[in-house]
Chains A and B, each alone.
Chain A
C-alpha cells in the first residue's frame, strides 16, 4: 500500500536559518503530493502541493519539488521565521476517486529568535 516517511523530529532552528524537512513516499501509480501545516491548537492547513513529476509547489516562501526518480518531496525554506513554528505533515493521495490522504508522522519545527 501507499506510505509516507518523514524526517524524524523535533527540529529546532534559529531565525533566518535554512530549512529542509525530508519526505519520501511509496505508492503505486502517480500520486499527488502535499505538505500540510498544523499550528498549535489548530487543524491542518494545506501549505503546498504538486500533482505530477517535476512540479514545484510553493507558498509563503516554502517550496517542494515532486521527484519521481527519488520518490521524494522535500520541503525547503531559505530563511525561517519564528511564526513558522508548527508541525509539518507530508502526505500523498491518489489522483482519482476518493483521493484519501496518507500522512507521514509529522515533523515538529521550532524556530528560536
Chain B
C-alpha cells in the first residue's frame, strides 16, 4: 500500500513551458485534492475531485487544469508556466474526514 504518490519530486521549467504533475493513490478514495504551498505560507486549494469524471475549482485555480479519468489518478496540468507558479505542490486523497498527502513536487519556474 503506497498511499499517495507524486511525480516528479523536483522540476525546473522555463517561462511559457507546460508540464503535468502526476498524482496516484491506491486507497480507492473518491475525493482527491491539489494544493500549493508557497514559502512561509499555508496550503491553498487549487482543484479538487469528488470522483472519476467530476472536478471543481478551489481557491487558486488560474493557470491550472485537471482531469480525473480514473479513481486512482488526478493529474495537474500547467499550460503556460509563470514565475508565480513557483511553489511546492501537494496532492491528497480523503477517507472520512482525514486527508492523506503525497510527498510533494517542488516546481521552479525561471
Q: Which residues from chain A sit less than 8 Å from chain B, CB to CB?
A: 4, 6, 32, 36, 41-46, 49, 51, 89, 91, 93, 95, 98-101, 103-106
Contacts and interface: CB of A to CB of B under 8 A. Distances in A.
B50 A98 contact: yes
Given A93-B97, A99-B97, A101-B99, 6 more contacts: A44-B101, A89-B42, A99-B94, A101-B35, A103-B44, A105-B42
28 contacts: A6-B42, A41-B103, A42-B103, A42-B104, A43-B4, A43-B90, A43-B102, A44-B92, A46-B99, A49-B98, A89-B43, A91-B42, A93-B97, A98-B48, A98-B50, A98-B56, A99-B31, A99-B94, A99-B97, A100-B48, A100-B58, A101-B33, A101-B35, A101-B43, A101-B45, A103-B42, A103-B43, A106-B41
A105 B103 contact: no
Contacts of B94: 99
Interface residues of B, number: 25
A28 B19 CA distance: 37
A105 B41 contact: yes
Interface of B: 4, 31, 33, 35, 40-45, 48, 50, 56, 58, 90, 92, 94, 97-104
B66 to A, nearest CB: 14
Contacts of A99: 31, 94, 97
A32 B97 CA distance: 8
A43 B90 CA distance: 7
A44 B100 CA distance: 8
A46 B98 contact: yes
A44 B43 contact: yes
A72 B49 CA distance: 29
Contacts of B43: 44, 89, 101, 103
A41 B58 CA distance: 25
Nearest to A95: B97
A64 B92 CA distance: 23
Contact of A98 (B31, B41, B101, B103): B31
